């Protein structure tokens, strides 16, 4: 069931492809209770990123960068001490569990002192249906879930950004909070577990080349930097972060080839109050988007080019973004056109973005980042509408996280040899005095085909090419007669494939089609046509197994062994010749879509 604001939403995440679990937990440090006797609250975070997938999974590009961004925003705005945020990049299962166990030990020690603990867990990477992928290793989601639930924290919040991570939320007694309002932590009065996921169980989480991030994590971080602060109280609650990430992720993925992605939220909590995640008002450097602004605003750090925020700003109220002091570039797409702004955000102050002082952007320079489309697909320079109803960027559709792009065509060409066959047809030729050559050489086989990937491990393949052929001759007196026959075929196949390494895979295929037989009779006898040609058709059954090695993103070399059954050549007395046989081929495949 897909989750939408105001409805029950079972937690589930789709994954990369590219492939694919990314978990993000956002427990924010609780606000201090008004009572001077309120217990001290400790906040710890375990932030994990892993670009590497297991067998059959393509590497992700931005999972580890997403982990770094998450750790950064927690340290800057979330009341997490840098020493209490542990960032793990490409850990093995033992290292990940050890980090969780370390947090559990610290939580137990805090409890003995009468102090409270909140825990944040974030994972960005690959996952399968019931396990997290850590390189070639798999960590059971049940094991990870149970280990996190065993941490004696006051509250643990987990956010998942990946494929098939919905299994994580199958916890006994989990009940979504009413209308997704997040009631917790007011010094801290909440206890339990909350999980946010980047997509439903039926969907796939996606990465964006333009944003250099997953859509979900990017919009979630943007929310935590202040764009999600709807009530203007200077802090972003988990409910506000969820609602912003839900709307913006759905809008951003609506036009991708993979399709819409719905963020979900599920809770197993008891208590009253909000869960503040970040506190943008406490940042020393801020960028204000004025109340009257109606535009899409993309903010990038000038030195690194990193996208810090991507906001669909609607008129009515200002939006304040908490940033690190420094120089930034902002692309502002309004109804009247697109402008580029260069701003410097300083510590101790608020900088207002004023599009009137910015430079108009040349159309050809802004198409990759500033071309927008209306709901009817019309491309224009500008945006319109409200916060989540405006235009979206036209960008090259990304692959699934953790899986190869499914909407992709490949073309291939192969050459090899196919076995000559003897049967009743050739025996009849022998009876009439025709003989094959002294050496029975195999025929040359050439095939061309096109393949469309249907699922991560299945493709439809159309192939056409030559089959076996031969030449028989006989001599009567001084006259020579020749019978030559050739077969051709075209078949529709289903191909199942699996990647054993990043660059190497195996496949098997089978299919059915139509075969064509062509027989030429040449004679030197008088009163007989010197050459006659007859054709006939029949069924073609085809099968093959092979292996493929990829070289870069476009070209692959493959080799295969196959067998074809094609009884397509017939004589006048009913004998049939099979124009197929065993074959071996080498070929090249060219990818016309993404291979990430």
Q: DSSP string covering 172-233, please?
A: TT--PPGGG-----SSS--EEEEEEESS-TTS--BEETTTTEEHHHHHHHHIIIIIT-TT-S
Please report, for the chain, the start and end positions of each structural domain, with discontinuous segments joined by +.
22-281, 285-393, 409-591
Q: What is the largest CA-CA distance in the chain?
A: 122
What's the pLDDT at 169? 53
Instruction: Indicate the Cα dihedral angle 128, 134, 139, 141, nearest 10°.
Output: -50
The fold for domain 409-591 equals Porin (2.40.160)
Q: Is pLDDT at 378 greater than 80 in this prediction?
A: no
What's the pLDDT at 178? 29
Q: Using pLDDT thresholds of 50, 70 and 90, give the confidence band for residue 129.
A: low
pLDDT in tens, 281-323: 888 888 989 888 998 898 888 887 778 888 888 888 888 898 8
What's the pLDDT at 415? 96
Give the number of other CB atoms < 10 A from CB of residue 68: 16
Q: Is the CB of residue 263 less than 8 Å from the CB of residue 245? A: yes
Q: Is pLDDT at 170 greater than 70 in this prediction?
A: no
Of the candidate CATH numbers 1.10.10.10, 2.30.30.230, 3.30.530.20, 2.60.40.1120, the domain formed by 285-393 belongs to 2.60.40.1120
Q: What percent of the chain has pLDDT over 90?
A: 27
As a whole number, mean pLDDT of residues 377-394 equals 34
Q: Is the CB of residue 167 less than 8 Å from the CB of residue 141? A: yes
pLDDT in tens, 48-69: 998 887 776 778 888 899 999 9
Q: Is pLDDT at 262 greater than 90 in this prediction?
A: no
Which one has a higher pLDDT value, 56 or 143? 143
As a whole number, mean pLDDT of residues 361-370 equals 40
> Coil, strand, or helix at residue 256?
coil
What's the pLDDT at 359? 87
Q: Is pLDDT at 527 greater than 90 in this prediction?
A: no
List helix spans (H) across 198-355: 215-222, 238-253
Q: Is the CB of residue 520 less than 8 Å from the CB of residue 533? A: yes
Q: What is the CATH number of domain 22-281?
A: 3.40.50.1460
What's the pLDDT at 190? 52
Mean residue pLDDT of the chain comes to 77
Nearest partner of 308 among 286, 277, 336, judged by Cα: 286
Q: Using pLDDT thresholds of 50, 70 and 90, give the confidence band for residue 375.
A: very low
Ranked by mean pLDDT, the top range of 115-119, 198-202, 584-588 is 584-588
């Amino acid at each position: 069931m897909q989750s939408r604001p105001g409805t029950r939403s079972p937690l589930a995440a789709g994954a990369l492809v590219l492939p694919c679990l990314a978990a993000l937990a956002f427990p924010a440090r609780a606000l201090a209770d008004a009572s001077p006797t309120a217990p001290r609250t400790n906040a710890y975070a375990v932030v994990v990123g892993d670009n590497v997938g297991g067998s059959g999974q393509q590497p992700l590009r931005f999972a580890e960068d997403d982990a770094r961004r998450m750790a950064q925003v927690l340290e800057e705005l979330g009341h997490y001490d840098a020493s209490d945020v542990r960032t793990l990049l490409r850990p093995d299962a033992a290292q990940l569990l050890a980090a969780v166990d370390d947090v559990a030990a610290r939580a137990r020690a805090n409890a003995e002192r009468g102090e409270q603990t909140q825990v944040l867990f974030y994972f960005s990477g690959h996952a399968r249906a019931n396990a997290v992928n850590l390189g070639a290793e798999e960590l059971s989601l049940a094991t990870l879930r149970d280990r996190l639930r065993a941490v004696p924290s006051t509250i643990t919040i987990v956010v998942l950004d990946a494929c098939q991570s919905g299994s994580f939320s199958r916890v006994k007694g989990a009940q979504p909070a009413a209308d997704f309002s997040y009631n917790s932590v007011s010094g801290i009065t909440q206890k339990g577990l909350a999980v946010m996921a980047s997509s439903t169980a039926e969907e796939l989480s996606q990465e964006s080349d333009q944003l250099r991030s997953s859509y979900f994590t990017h919009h979630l971080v943007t929310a935590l930097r202040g764009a999600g602060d709807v009530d203007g109280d200077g802090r972003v609650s988990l409910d506000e972060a969820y609602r912003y990430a839900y709307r913006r992720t759905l809008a951003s993925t609506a036009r991708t080839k993979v399709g819409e992605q719905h963020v979900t939220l599920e809770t197993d909590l008891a208590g009253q109050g909000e869960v503040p995640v970040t506190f943008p008002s406490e940042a020393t450097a801020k960028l204000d988007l004025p109340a009257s602004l109606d535009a899409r605003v993309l903010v990038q750090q000038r030195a690194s080019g990193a996208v810090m925020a991507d906001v669909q700003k609607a008129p009515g109220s200002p939006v304040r973004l908490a940033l690190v002091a420094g120089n930034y570039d902002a692309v502002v797409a309004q109804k009247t056109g697109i402008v580029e702004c260069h701003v410097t955000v300083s510590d101790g102050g608020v900088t207002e973005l004023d599009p009137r002082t910015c430079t108009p952007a040349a159309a050809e320079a802004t198409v990759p980042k500033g071309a927008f489309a209306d709901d009817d697909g019309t491309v224009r320079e500008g945006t319109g509408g409200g916060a989540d109803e405006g235009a979206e960027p036209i960008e090259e559709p990304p692959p699934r996280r953790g899986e190869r792009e499914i909407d992709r065509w490949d073309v291939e060409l192969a050459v090899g040899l196919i076995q000559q066959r003897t049967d009743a047809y050739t025996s009849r030729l022998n009876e009439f005095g025709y003989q094959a050559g002294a050496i029975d050489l195999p025929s040359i086989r050439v095939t061309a085909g096109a393949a469309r990937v249907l699922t991560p491990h299945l493709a439809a393949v159309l192939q056409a090419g030559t089959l076996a052929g031969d030449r028989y001759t006989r001599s009567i007196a001084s006259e020579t007669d020749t019978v030559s026959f050739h077969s051709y075929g075209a078949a529709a196949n289903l191909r199942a494939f699996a990647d054993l390494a990043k660059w190497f895979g195996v496949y098997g295929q089978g299919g059915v089609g139509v075969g064509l037989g062509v027989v030429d009779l040449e004679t030197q006898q008088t009163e007989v046509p010197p050459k006659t040609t007859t054709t006939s058709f029949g069924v073609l059954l085809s099968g093959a197994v092979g292996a493929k090695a990829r070289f870069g993103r476009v070209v692959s070399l493959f080799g295969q062994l196959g067998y074809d059954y094609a009884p397509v050549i017939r004589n006048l007395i009913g004998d049939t010749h099979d124009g197929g046989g065993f074959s071996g081929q080498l070929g090249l495949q060219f990818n016309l879509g993404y291979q990430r």
